[in-house]
Amino acid sequence: MRMDAVVAGVGMTRFGKHPDRGLKDLGAEAVSAAVADAGLELGDLQAAYVGNCAAGTVTGQESIRGQVILHPLGIGRIPVVNVENACASGSTAFHLAAAMVTAGMYDTALALGVEKLTHPDKRVSFAAFAGAVDVEEVRALLDQLATPPGGGGAPGEEAAGKGGAGGGAGEKRSMFMDIYAHAARNHMARYGTTVEQLAAVAAKNSLHGSLNPRAQFREVLTVDDVLAAPMIVPPLTRPMCSPIGDGAAALVVTSAARARELGIRRPVRVATSVLRSGWDHGPDEPGTVELCAREAFEEAGLGPGDLDVAEVHDASAPAEIITYEQLGLCGRGEGGALAERGDTRLGGRLPVNTSGGLLRKGHPVGASGVAQIVELTEQLRGTSGERQVEGARVGLAQNGGGKKGNDAAAMCVTVLRS
């Protein structure tokens, strides 16, 4: 939907493993920073939308997560809406906050994404992801993931049969890495995408993450480093997979009038935010990303060529490559070459995941979508330091999660303008 809202303040913790910090502590850091950045007080907030995906599984906190997290800050009385929408929980919270400000219900709202995924028992962390598929269809899904593309011979197929889908999925790793590995093998078999191109995405995002002080991983990796790393599920090595981590990110969303009152000199406007859910469609028919992007571009009066910077949901390296194609940044089957040429790295034609992306910044799932908007807001303000995209004026965020049928269960595409 078309929006008439402004991102007035941003705040974010460093993403990573924080064994001694809970949801309240992480959330408080991000919220306090965002409110201060907007030049407001906590009491100025009129509503809060809190995105969290896994607290029920990891910490046992259900039902009133947002109220529990915000209460120590003295935030009460106002509506607090808990938002759970798989890995799109944070972007959905932001979508709702911006929509309610656009509708005139509030002139100042908070969008918070916060997640605690690390746990002494890794099976608990992995179980948080396993619940983002239809639990009544898990066996059928695992059987599908073990099926070779077109019935034979895809890269990594033999190894996948030995240790891939069903051989540790959901116990030794997130089930979604098997989902992404299956998609990668299909893409490789159909279009000739190479493991070197997958590695180019991970290497590029490692460079970007090295410049981001809030990223979980800051080591710069080469393509050879990525390829030499331990295999998680073929063809994905460890740096091609997003890590388990904790963190929080927050946004203060205001009306344009309120932004003027606050004296915000470089307002970042929410041009549009499109939220959709998956459905059954043919393998070559447009899916959630294509439909969200098409609607977002139409409502913003823009096209892919107008973008200056983008943050996309690279929960795995092949996911970023496929998303290039779905967003119209290149033709179908050309995403691997786009990454290999360096078009999407800083200094390239369209820098993607300047934050380091989920692969290097980290992926505390409920916070990831909000963190994308934090990164884009800072890019459009011109305050991103060493990773600044020169002259950035238009940014796009794509964040999705869960799986139902042959698509994501939830998808959100947002366009911001300076």
Q: Which residues pair with 399 in a beta bridge?
A: 412
Residue in the structure block whose two tokens are 């997290």: 69
Catalytic hit among 53, 87, 292, 330: 87
The CA distance from 90 to 74, in Å, is 22
Cα–Cα distance for residue pair 49/408, rounded to 1 Å: 22
Q: Judge whether 8 and 253 are in contact, CB under 8 Å.
A: yes
Question: Is position 363 annotated as part of the catalytic site?
Answer: yes
Are 198 and 319 in contact, with CB atoms under 8 Å apart?
Answer: no
Cα 351 from Cα 212, distance rounded (Å): 15
CB-based contact 216:245 (threshold 8 Å): yes
Quickly list DSSP for 46-74.
--EEEE-SSHHHHT---S-HHHHHHGGGT
> Using a CB cutoff of 8 Å and minimum separation of 24, what contacts does 54-60 make?
54/115, 54/116, 54/117, 54/128, 54/365, 54/366, 55/23, 55/115, 55/116, 57/124, 57/127, 57/128, 57/131, 58/116, 58/117, 58/119, 58/124, 58/125, 58/128, 59/22, 59/23, 59/116
- C-beta of residue 118 within 8 angstroms of C-beta of residue 19: yes
Q: Which residues pair with 403 in a beta bridge?
A: 408
CA 94 to chain centre: 13
Phi then psi for residue 174, to 5 deg, are: -65, 135
Extract the tokens encoding 212: 């981001």
Question: Catalytic one among 187, 208, 313, 363?
Answer: 363
Q: Return the H-helix or E-strand segment holding 111.
A: strand 108-116
Tokens standing for residue 415:
């366009």
H-state helical runs in 88-137: 89-102, 122-130
Catalytic: 119? no
- How many C-alpha atoms does 60 have within 13 Å on its Cβ side? 0
Q: Which residues are designated catalytic?
A: 87, 363
